[in-house]
Chains A and B, each alone.
Chain A
Amino acid sequence: GAVVSQHPSRVICKSGTSVKIECRSLDFQATTMFWYRQFPKQSLMLMATSNEGSKATYEQGVEKDKFLINHASLTLSTLTVTSAHPEDSSFYICSARDLRDTGLLEQYFGPGTRLTVT
């Protein structure tokens, strides 16, 4: 149980275009989903927290107009990188918290999406 998927696993796009990454909880409902970014050989940095039906909360320094997050249902959150540039190339990982986890303790991670902007 507690499986999170991401689609696509890899994407290459041209500079100036937009890319959408999906994060789905497959066998549970997620009240909260998190988006992380990981540069090569570095740790995960939290970008934003999204709750179903409300606006995402962005970490300091993350441009909300560039990284659009939509959490329209309890099983799906999307991250759209708008007007992508080469410096946006990175590994994006999502995680989700189970609605039934009343202790609000654990997150389940997706496999990640490798974005390359040319």
Chain B
Amino acid sequence: AQSVTQPDIHITVSEGASLELRCNYSYGATPYLFWYVQSPGQGLQLLLKYFSGDTLVQGIKGFEAEFKRSQSSFNLRKPSVHWSDAAEYFCAVGARGNDMRFGAGTRLTVKP
């Protein structure tokens, strides 16, 4: 069965600093990987997704993620964090025709 691990429950970074949120997955076949962001009391917004092809994926709001099959990872990065990026971030794994499984989430706090 597929599963997703986000090792960091909470990360704090200073505004303008770079960010990397970790995501490791476990799945026997080709995984389809997603990153979502959720602001308090809100639904999920898709940041980016990886289905196939180029392993470096560009998303919205200046985010990118790199799929590394050898490490079973799909880490999310941003070169310069803005205060508005403070939110909860979820990594998810899906497969063709199957449901989606979410990681536990990483809460990002941005210091001024």
**Residue in B42, B94, B101, B104 whose CB lies within 8 Å of A105:** B94
User: Closest approach, in angstroms, between the C-beta of B78 and any C-beta of chain A?
Assistant: 21
Give A91 to B49 CA distance when docked, in angstroms: 24
User: Closest approach, in angstroms, between the C-beta of B65 and any C-beta of chain A?
Assistant: 16
Query: Is the C-beta of A104 less than 8 angstroms from some C-beta in chain B?
Result: yes
Residues from chain B with a CB closer than 8 A to the CB of A112 are 41-43
Give A93 to B43 CA distance when docked, in angstroms: 7
CB proximity to A under 8 Å, residues B5-50: 32, 36, 41-44, 46, 49
Instruction: Kindly supply a per-residue 1/0 record for chain A positions 89-107, scoring 1 wherever the CB is within 8 Å of any chain B CB and 0 otherwise.
Output: 0010101000000011111
CB proximity to B under 8 Å, residues A66-113: 91, 93, 95, 103-107, 109-112
Residues from chain B with a CB closer than 8 A to the CB of A104 are 96-98
Count contacts between A and B, CB distance < 8 Å. Answer: 47
Q: Are B103 and A43 in contact (CB under 8 A)?
A: yes
CB proximity to B under 8 Å, residues A20-61: 34, 41-46, 49
Interface residues of B toward A: which range?
20 to 34
Query: Is the C-beta of A7 less than 8 angstroms from some C-beta in chain B?
Result: no
**Residue in A43, A106, A114 whose CB lies within 8 Å of B90:** A43
Interface residues of A toward B: which range?
20 to 34
**Residue in B44, B46, B94, B101 whose CB lies within 8 Å of A93:** B44
User: Closest approach, in angstroms, between the C-beta of A35 and any C-beta of chain B?
Assistant: 11
Give A103 to B100 CA distance when docked, in angstroms: 14
- Provide 15 A-B residue pairs closer than 8 Å at the C-beta atoms, listed in order of the A residue: A34-B99, A34-B100, A42-B104, A43-B102, A43-B103, A44-B44, A49-B99, A91-B41, A104-B98, A105-B96, A107-B94, A109-B46, A110-B43, A112-B41, A112-B43
**A→B interface (CB under 8 Å):** 6, 34, 41-46, 49, 91, 93, 95, 103-107, 109-112, 114
